[in-house]
Structure 1
Amino acid sequence: MIVSTSAVHTQQPIALQPYGLPTYKTSADAIAAYNGDDQIYALYPRKIEAAARLFVSEFPGHVLYAVKSNPHPSLLQILWNEGVSRYDVASMREIDLVRGLLPRAELYLMHPVKSRRTIAHAYTNGVRNMSFDHEDELQKILDCTNQAQDLHLHLRLALPKVSKQLGAVMPLGGKFGAGFDEAVALLKSARPDVQKLGLCFHVGSQCLNIENYNSALTYARTVIDAAGVKIDSIDVGGGFPVSYPDMPIAPMAEYFGAISASVAANGFAELELFGEPGRALCAEGGATLVRVELRKDNDLYLNDGTYGSLFDAGQFSWKFPVRLHRSRPPAPCANTIGFRFFGPTCDSADTMNGPFHLPADTCEGDWIEIQNLGAYGQTLATQFNGFYSHHTVAILED
């Protein structure tokens, strides 16, 4: 929904705790208090808390937060406070970040291809869960952990015909995963050398078709039966979606119910079950506040763009929800029109076609709140052309 608001002047932060950030009642207050020249990143703790509670209480297995979607320390702490105790990490830096902030967290190195140093560093830091999708990767893990007897390894499956059948907005087939025959061989090869063995897969980012999880679990069943080895766990990966304009989604409870039903139907009820939500835990809990620097007809030039937090808006033409903030009279007009956005860099690829619907009189000096950017927004931002921001605030409004 598009909402036009009027900012209040000279607001001060409520406190720096409990989120470790300047905290304001509303995004308008945060804008009014800001005297910098860059975009403002905003976290909405109450939205993050609500998403975490939903997954912790209703997902039918263990919840692993995919750190890559947003590694901000304040967000990680909020998730921990709400009962998320497992974190999917991909690199030494992510390991060190989570271990330093949350020393009691359980870490899962679910990147299928890792450097030897990363494997050794992970094991030294208590990581026992790792994924693989190739015989050489399996051998690397065994070598770098000195043939450890306490490993829980997860074989990454390549799902068949992923680009045509799985219905995700961003299919993830083609880069990772073992095909049927290779997966069967790898399960047989890994079983004697590990304490626990599981299968994992990814149905694609922003998965809008609930049936995809059942299709993947049913396929996993055929692989396990062909291998004829004992399996200890199933990881249904990520893909849990968030509602964006033009992307309506079913309630998350329907995803959980479908996964539970498929787990039972495929004989996996006694296995340890994992899920790796990223976007679904943090997307709605983040926004970017950008300033309009110039208007040319229906084009708005902003102080953030595709080289900042709006990569998905430019690269994939995602239409994020927006609302206008104006701190001076007159109030924005009621009728809206569609705008195209341009970022601040001198690269013409810094373009977001939208359209983004805002009041027709939007002009220089107005601020636009681009919502649902808590996932893959700030975390993808670069410092290209010297345009970037280190300013993050917490907003208490829901």
Structure 2
Amino acid sequence: MSMQDNDFSRIIAYVKSEKPDDPVHFFHPRHLDHAVKTFQTGFGGMLTYAVKANPDPLVIARMVELGMQGFDVASPAEMALVRSVSDTVALHYNNPVRSLSEIVAAERHGVRSWSVDREDELAKLAHLPKGHEIAVRLRLPVKGAAYDFGAKYGADPETAVLLLQKVRDLGLIPSMTFHPGTQCDASGVWAQYIRACADIAARAGVTLRRLNVGGGFAANRLGISPDLYRIFREIDQAVDQGFGANRPELICEPGRALATEAFSLLVRVKAMDERCMTLNDGIYGGLAEWRDLSVGNRITCFAPDGTLRRADGMERIVFGPTCDSLDCLPTPLVVPCDLSPEDYILISGMGAYSQATATGFNGYGHSHVVCLQDHDTFDRGAGHRHAAA
């Protein structure tokens, strides 16, 4: 976060006033607005939000205000959350494995778009009336993401051909979907999937109504912003080349790429020595993803009075606050050598999965959510209002 950022001034004012000793998530509405508008202006199809990335009601409500067309939901709880904000937005149930009771709940919430990757799951949906969409989910052995989603879900091309034909024979709307994997910055991955979908549809003798190109769009973790417009252009070109006159309507379902910049995470140094430091949050809380993805470097360190720590950096092993020895970041974090106990570390770009995966283990991992607006700062956790700096 830039030191000239007005939000940073508000954060410093909040810290001076409240002296928080628990982690704090700061919500930056304008950063969310920018991310949503990037997709709305650059992607040539329907934009939906993968709720799993950040299910905060503030995020859902803001997206509805911004004209989000639909939401990718994976459970009845996520459906109920979105419906608590809007009765009219589309719900796409693209978790391809469901219990019968979950299907009933989804129908009650108005789901009309589903995905499948195996015959027994399609059989559970055979009762749906005409007008419901079934997207066959494809997996391919392609690399380019931080980790692959194909290990759990997705049909191979031969199975996808058969599933598309069965969807058509049931009188349901045939579509396809895929997920390139998380933090994917290789536009060629989308092109490979799109070409494969076009080939599968042709072999099945089925015209696709829609093609969901998934999520996986990368976000800024290490100070380098991905070129999303390059990916949008390659997606569009691949669809034209693969489908020609049978071009399907497009859908995307980003989560991380929309939510990441919407929140920053404030943590506090509890203790430190010459080689280690312990924070008030760790892998059982807001830093859970840092266990599996690279440790981020977008940090700003400062004293309780707001004085920035600017000394040369040094590596420190970072432990979380729980009693579990596994509560440790996988690689050291470079912090200023004048950082001291009771100081704060503000981590930018923490809107994706940092709240969604926090456990509360050992009594830690809980955090306030503070919404930074142009004219005031609202602390939802503490339940009172602060004047803006």
Q: Same fold (TM over 0.5)?
A: yes
CA deviation after TM superposition for structure 1 residue 36, in Å: 4.7
Q: 1:180 aligns with which of 151, 157, 173?
A: 157
Which amino acid is the alignment partner of residue 119 of structure 1? I
Taking a change above 3 Å as real, the CA distance of residues 128 and 135 of structure 1, as seen in their structure-2 partners, is same
Which amino acid is the alignment partner of residue 377 of structure 1? S
For 1:308, what is the secondary structure of its paired residue?
coil
1:156 equivalent to 2:137? Answer: yes
* Cα distance in 2, alignment partners of residues 331 and 125 from structure 1: 49
1:86 equivalent to 2:70? Answer: yes
* Cα distance in 2, alignment partners of residues 201 and 331 from structure 1: 45
For 1:168, what is the secondary structure of its paired residue?
coil
CA deviation after TM superposition for structure 1 residue 169, in Å: 0.9
Q: 1:207 aligns with which of 171, 180, 184?
A: 184
1:135 equivalent to 2:111? Answer: no
* Cα distance in 2, alignment partners of residues 342 and 390 from structure 1: 18
* Cα distance in 1, alignment partners of residues 260 and 128 from structure 2: 39
Contact 1:2 1:357 in 2 (8 A): no
Tell me what 1:223 maps to.
200
CA deviation after TM superposition for structure 1 residue 26, in Å: 2.2
* Cα distance in 2, alignment partners of residues 121 and 45 from structure 1: 31
Contact 1:4 1:324 in 2 (8 A): no
Tell me what 1:272 maps to.
249
* Cα distance in 1, alignment partners of residues 355 and 229 from structure 2: 28
Taking a change above 3 Å as real, the CA distance of residues 2 and 58 of structure 1, as seen in their structure-2 partners, is closer
For 2:125, what is the secondary structure of its paired residue?
helix
1:257 equivalent to 2:264? Answer: no
Aligned-residue identity in percent: 32
Structure 2: 5+ residue runs without aligned partners?
375-389
Structure 1: 5+ residue runs without aligned partners?
6-22
For 2:243, what is the secondary structure of its paired residue?
coil
Contact 2:146 2:293 in 1 (8 A): no
Contact 1:293 1:302 in 2 (8 A): yes
Which amino acid is the alignment partner of residue 149 of structure 1? K
Tell me what 1:171 maps to.
148
CA deviation after TM superposition for structure 1 residue 360, in Å: 1.1
- Counterparts in 2 of 1:182-201, with a 5 A limit? 182-201=159-178
* Cα distance in 1, alignment partners of residues 61 and 92 from structure 2: 17
Contact 1:2 1:323 in 2 (8 A): no
Tell me what 1:232 maps to.
209
Contact 1:89 1:110 in 2 (8 A): yes
- TM-score, scaled relative to structure 1: 0.88
CA deviation after TM superposition for structure 1 residue 388, in Å: 2.8
1:307 equivalent to 2:291? Answer: no
Taking a change above 3 Å as real, the CA distance of residues 331 and 177 of structure 1, as seen in their structure-2 partners, is closer
Q: CA RMSD in A?
A: 2.3
For 1:350, what is the secondary structure of its paired residue?
coil
Contact 2:298 2:349 in 1 (8 A): yes
Which amino acid is the alignment partner of residue 65 of structure 2? N
CA deviation after TM superposition for structure 1 residue 194, in Å: 3.6
Tell me what 2:366 maps to.
389
- Counterparts in 2 of 1:1-398, with a 5 A limit? 26-142=10-126, 146-159=127-140, 161-162=141-142, 166-245=143-222, 248=224, 250-267=226-243, 270-328=247-305, 332-396=309-373
Taking a change above 3 Å as real, the CA distance of residues 34 and 103 of structure 1, as seen in their structure-2 partners, is farther
* Cα distance in 2, alignment partners of residues 93 and 336 from structure 1: 44
* Cα distance in 1, alignment partners of residues 321 and 123 from structure 2: 47
CA deviation after TM superposition for structure 1 residue 249, in Å: 5.2
* Cα distance in 1, alignment partners of residues 88 and 191 from structure 2: 33
* Cα distance in 2, alignment partners of residues 329 and 367 from structure 1: 9
* Cα distance in 1, alignment partners of residues 174 and 146 from structure 2: 30
For 1:266, what is the secondary structure of its paired residue?
helix
CA deviation after TM superposition for structure 1 residue 318, in Å: 2.8
Which amino acid is the alignment partner of residue 87 of structure 1? F
Taking a change above 3 Å as real, the CA distance of residues 337 and 223 of structure 1, as seen in their structure-2 partners, is same
* Cα distance in 2, alignment partners of residues 216 and 177 from structure 1: 12
Taking a change above 3 Å as real, the CA distance of residues 381 and 90 of structure 1, as seen in their structure-2 partners, is same
Taking a change above 3 Å as real, the CA distance of residues 140 and 261 of structure 1, as seen in their structure-2 partners, is same
Which amino acid is the alignment partner of residue 77 of structure 2? R
Aligned residues, how many?
373
Taking a change above 3 Å as real, the CA distance of residues 369 and 24 of structure 1, as seen in their structure-2 partners, is closer
* Cα distance in 2, alignment partners of residues 91 and 39 from structure 1: 28
Deviates more, 1:301-310 or 1:264-273: 264-273
Tell me what 2:377 maps to.
none
For 1:170, what is the secondary structure of its paired residue?
coil
